[in-house]
Amino acid sequence: MAHGTDALLVGARRGTSAAAPGLSWQRRGEWLLAAVAVAFTVAQLVLVRPSLGLGWDETVYVSQSSAQAPPAFFSAPRARGVALLVAPVTSWSTSTELLRVYLAVLSGLGLYLALRVWRGYFPARVLAAAGALFASLWVTLFYGPAAMPNYWVALGALACVGCCLRAAADHRDRAALGGVAVGAALMAWMRPTDAVWISLPLLVWMAAGRRMRLALVLLAGLATGIGQWVIEAHLAYGGLTQRLSEGSRIQGGLGWNIAVDDQLRSLIGRTLCRPCTGSLPHPAVMAWWFVLPLLAAVGLTVAVRARRTGPTGLLLACATTAAVPYLFMIGYAAPRFLLPAYLLLAIPVADALFHLVTSASGRWRPAALVVLALGLAGHLAVQYVVLDRTVDRTTADRRNWSRTAGHLHRLGVRPPCLLTGANAVPLAFYTGCSSANPGGHDANTTVAGILSTARRIPTAALSRPGVPPPPYARDWRTHPSAGLDLHIAPPPRVNGPA
C-alpha cells in the first residue's frame, strides 16, 4: 500500500496521468487547499472587522477611483496595482465593508490558486500546512482584506516561482507559461522594486539552464507593470532617475541600513515603525521569527537528502532576495514588507515540520507531536493577541479620523474643500476634500497655491496639539478636535474679486 501511494506521488510530480486512486488523492488535496483558503477568508472577516476604516496608504489607493474624494497625491514610490485591484468596487461604491469583504474573498481565492500551482512538487498536506502557517500570522490576517500591495506581491511571487518550475519541466505547458507572466505582472504592478528583487534568482536559474524562452516570458510579465511605472515617471515625475531619487528620499534614503531590529520591534503590531525606537517585544512575540530560518534550513536539508533540491532551493533563494532590501537597505520597518518572504518560506518550513515528526522513531514520535502541538498552540495564541490589539488600536485611530471629518463638516469645511498639514491625506478622504501640502513626503503645491485655493473653497490647515499652525494660517480660527487642531480659513468670498 505504501509503495502504491509513493508511486502515485511520483507520478503526480512528473505530471503523468493517474489512475482512479490518484485522482481521488488529487481531489482530497484540492479540498484540503480549498478548506485552508476558506478558513483564511472567514478568519479575516471575523477577526479583522469589515467596518475597519481605511488607513493612510489605503485612502491614497482607493481615492484614485472613488467618488468619495478627489484623487490623493500619488507619491513617487507608489505603483498603480492596488488602485486597479480595488477599482471594481470603489468605482461605484463607497462602502468600506463591501471593499473589505471583496478583498478578503479575493485574498482567499488567491492563496488557493498560488498554493495549487505547487501540486506534485510537495504533498497536499505540506501545501495545506504551509498555507495555514502563513494565513495564521497576524500580519497576513490584517493585510489580507487591506487595500495594500504586499500580500499580492507574495501571491504573485509564489505562483510565479511554481509556474517557472512547471514550464521548465514541460515546454508544452502553456498554462504554466501564462502563470509565469501573470505572476510576474502581479508583482510588478503592485511593487516594481520588489518584483525585481524576487525575480533575480529566477533569472539566474534560467540563465544557468539556458531557459531563454522562459526568461523572455518572465521579463514580459515584469515589463507590463514596470513599463507603466517608468512611463509614469517620465510623464509625472521628471524622469525615471528623478522618480527613483524622490522615492529613495521619501523612504529615508535607501542604502546600507540594518533594519533587522526594526522588524523585530514591529512584530508587536506596529504597522509602521518609523522612527523605530523603544525596547524589543517580549521573547514570546519574537520566537517564531527566529525559528523560521532554522526550519527553512531543515527544509532545505530534507530536500537535498530526498534529491529534490530544485523547488525548495528556488523558494529559499527568492525568499532571501525578497527580504534583503527590507532587512538591510531601509531605515525603518513595517511588518507587511516581509509578507512575500514569509509565504515563500512557508512551504519549506511546513515540509520541515512534517519531516521532524514523521522521522522520529516510534517511542519519540508522540513526544515530537506534543512538542509541535504545544509550539503551534503558543504561536497561534501570540498571533491572535497581537492581531486583536492591532485591530483595536487602528480602529480607534480611524474612528478619530471619522470624528474629525464630522467636526470639519460642522465647521463648514465641506466638498469641494481643501485640507493641508498633519494627516491631511487620510482626513481629506474621510471629509471628501482634496489634500495638498507645500512640503514633506506628499509635497504637491505651494503656500501661494493654498492661499489662492482658500479664497475659492473652504480650507483648513491641520496641526498636532501644541504645534503652532503654519505661518500663513496663524490668523485662521482654531478648533481642537480628536488629537488635532483645526485651523479654519476665513469663508471664501462668493462675490467680489477673487
Cβ–Cβ < 8 Å for 188, 179 = no
Q: For the segment 102-149, what is each residue's pLDDT rounded down to a tens digit?
A: 999 999 999 999 999 999 999 999 999 999 999 999 999 999 999 999
CA distance 160 to 321: 15
Do the bridges between strand 459-463 and strand 485-488 make them parallel or antiparallel, or are there none, so unpaired? antiparallel
Domain ranges of the chain: 22-359, 395-488
Tell me the average pLDDT across 223-243: 96
User: Which cell is 28 given?
Assistant: 482530497
Q: What is the pLDDT of residue 75?
A: 95
Q: What is the pLDDT of residue 493?
A: 73
Contacts of 217 (CB under 8 A, 6+ apart): 167, 177, 180, 181
User: Where does residue 277 rank: exposed (0-12), middle (13-18), buried (19+ CB within 10 A)?
Assistant: exposed
Tell me the average pLDDT across 440-465: 95
Cβ–Cβ < 8 Å for 264, 281 = yes
Indicate whether 21 pLDDT > 50: no
CA distance 348 to 320: 13
Q: Answer whether 0.85 is exceeded by the pTM.
A: yes
Mean pLDDT over the full length of the chain: 92
Angle, to 10 degrees, between the axis of helix 212-236 and the axis of helix 240-250?
80
3 state DSSP class of 435: strand
Q: What is the pLDDT of residue 8?
A: 32
